[in-house]
Structure 1
Amino acid sequence: MKKVLIAYASRTGNTGKMANFLAEGVRFAGHTVEIKKISEIENAEELNGYDAYLFGCPTYHKDMTGGMKQFLFLAEKAELTSAAGGAFGSHTHSGESAPMIFDTMEYVFKMKMTNLGPLNLTEATIATQEGLKACQDYGKALAETL
């Protein structure tokens, strides 16, 4: 059984819902998961000990939140090279944050990213059956790579 960290930022609770749905998918695949808000992670050492990472953030003014940018600088110090990874985010209309996080994890951190690309859902989709299934499937797919 492998251990997955889901770390996220959420302004209105939608990205937090996604994190919980993703965790269900990881658990369906037989692995354990910890969910943390990025504000709860104070140093790079707290990112050690996981086999895979899912980082998520809403798009805010066509960008990641400032907190997520700071978190990614912290995560870079954790040396996550070769760990499995995925990225997710919610948005109302544009959706730039999840692809930016995904690219940072893949090209800067040199992680083994899921071949599904980033999971990017509109806020209106998250609480639907389609949104729930998309998140669970993404969590399962990441976990099955372990």
Structure 2
Amino acid sequence: MKKVLIAYSSRTGTTQKMADYLAEGFRMSDNQVEAVKISTLKDEKDISGYDAYLFGCPTYHKDMTGGMKQFLFKAERANLIGKIAGAFGSHTHSGEAAPMVFDTMQHVFKMDVTTLGPLNLTEEIMSNDEGVKACHDYAKAIAEKL
């Protein structure tokens, strides 16, 4: 059984809902998952020790949240080179945050990111079964890499 960390920032609860559905998808693939708000991860020791990582952030004013930017500095110190990774986020209309997080994981942290790219869903899609299925499928695809 592999260990997965899903760390997220959420303003309205939609990105947290995505994290919960992603966790379900990993559990369906018999993996141990911890889904936590980034504010609970105090330093790189709290981030280290997992086989795969998903970082999630909503888009807020066409950017990541300030908390996610600070969290990424902590994550960088955790030396995640080669770890399996994916990114996700919710948005109402623009959706820049998840691709920014994904690019950081791929190019700065040198992680083994999924070929699916970031999971970037509108809040509208997350209000129905289509969003649940998208989250489950994304997690299952990453779990196959484990």
TM-score (ref. length: structure 2): 0.99
Q: Structure 2 unaligned runs (5+)?
A: none
CA distance in 2, matches of 1:9, 1:48: 18
Given residue 97 of structure 1, which amino acid in structure 2 is its aligned partner? A
1:80 aligns with 2:88: no
Identical pairs, percent: 67
Q: Corresponding residue for 2:12?
A: 12
Q: State the 1:127 CA deviation.
A: 2.4
Q: Which moved more, 1:84-93 or 1:22-31?
A: 22-31
* Unaligned ranges ≥5, structure 1: none
Deviation per CA, 1:85-131, whole angstroms, max 9, x where unpaired? 00000000000000000000000000000110000000111121100
Q: Secondary structure at the match of 2:34?
A: strand
Q: For residues 1-146 of structure 1, what are the structure 2 equivalents within 5 Å?
A: 1-146=1-146
How many aligned positions are there?
Answer: 146
TM-score (norm 1): 0.99
Please list every run of at least 4 consecutive aligned residues from structure 1 whose deviation after the TM superposition is greater than 4 angstroms: none
Cα deviations by residue, 1:41-94 (Å, 9 ceiling, x for unpaired): 000011111000000000000000000000001100000000000000000000
Two-structure CA RMSD over aligned residues (Å): 0.5
